[in-house]
Structure 1
Amino acid sequence: MNYVHIVAVLAVLQFFFFGILVGRARASYGVKAPATAGHELFDRAFRVHMNTLEQLVGFLPALLIAAVYWPDAIVAGVGAVYLVGRFVYRRAYLADPGRRQVGFLLTVLPIFALLAAAVFGAVTRHAS
């Protein structure tokens, strides 16, 4: 079983799930497409979704490249922290955007760890 690929698929599914929740918020708060702003709670759901997309752009390549050089279970474990962080971020942001720091850290720290692992693996493997 390739745990890294499972984490990658879960990250994409999480992104789509957050998008469905934006659609529900759009309907609940009467924000008609193509508007991307309206009711404050819709705006928060929309920003969580967009921030998730912004983070996903760095997360997926870092995850997949790190997995080339490091054990699957370790890389997947770091990726799982990212997934949990996204849910923590969403919950906090919807309640009070000023309290999103823990979720944000649980998202960006795994990305930076995976990026460092990817670069270190690429540099040391290339040098040998």
Structure 2
Amino acid sequence: MTHLPALVTLLTVLLLLGTMWAVGRARDKYGIKAPAVSGHPAFERAYRVQMNTLENTVMFLPVLWLAAMYGFSGWAGIAGLVWLAGRGWYALAYLKDAGKRGPGFMVGMLGWAALLVMASIGVVRVMLLG
């Protein structure tokens, strides 16, 4: 379980690669030439999935590793898997219908919130107890 956060990190990179691939595929399919970021609604959904996932990953990875490094490695890995499942659900739902992205987003945010709590407890505990 101590290496689960590392696996989650690798899976996160694959998720980012998948969103990048979806945008490239949509650019080709709908004829959206770079640097344009608007055009066909399906392309715009793919682009937003990629950007939203990238933005969320910036908040996710630090708390994953802080929680893992400050005493919650196994639980951090599990919460990270919850985040990944939520982000995957979010991405697939958003690509089909932007209005259906909410449940996946909420699952991902629950995983992130759990990591934030673990990271906060771990850091504060070390600061107070030395």
TM-score, length-scaled by structure 2 = 0.93
Equivalent residue, structure 2, for 1:56: 57
Equivalent residue, structure 2, for 1:118: 119
For residues 123 and 40 of structure 1, the distance between their equivalents in structure 2, rounded to whole angstroms, comes to: 45
Once the two structures are TM-superposed, the CA of residue 64 in structure 1 deviates from its matched residue by 0.3
Could you list the runs of 4 or more consecutive aligned residues of structure 1 that deviate by over 3 angstroms after TM superposition? none
For residues 41 and 72 of structure 2, the distance between their equivalents in structure 1, rounded to whole angstroms, comes to: 43
Structure 1 residues without counterparts, runs of 5 or longer: none
For residues 84 and 30 of structure 1, the distance between their equivalents in structure 2, rounded to whole angstroms, comes to: 31
Equivalent residue, structure 1, for 2:39: 38
Once the two structures are TM-superposed, the CA of residue 73 in structure 1 deviates from its matched residue by 2.2
Equivalent residue, structure 1, for 2:98: 97
Pairing of 1:73-92 with structure 2 (within 5 A)? 73-92=74-93
Q: Give the % identical residues.
A: 44
Moved more, 59-68 or 99-108: 99-108
Tell me how large the CA RMSD over aligned residues is: 1.2
Tell me if the contact between 2:68 and 2:74 (Cα under 8 Å) persists in the aligned partners.
no
Paired residue total? 128
For residues 97 and 22 of structure 2, the distance between their equivalents in structure 1, rounded to whole angstroms, comes to: 17
Structure 2 residues without counterparts, runs of 5 or longer: none
For residues 86 and 76 of structure 2, the distance between their equivalents in structure 1, rounded to whole angstroms, comes to: 15
Equivalent residue, structure 2, for 1:25: 26
Tell me if the contact between 2:26 and 2:42 (Cα under 8 Å) persists in the aligned partners.
yes
Letter in 1 for 2:116: L
TM-score, length-scaled by structure 1 = 0.94
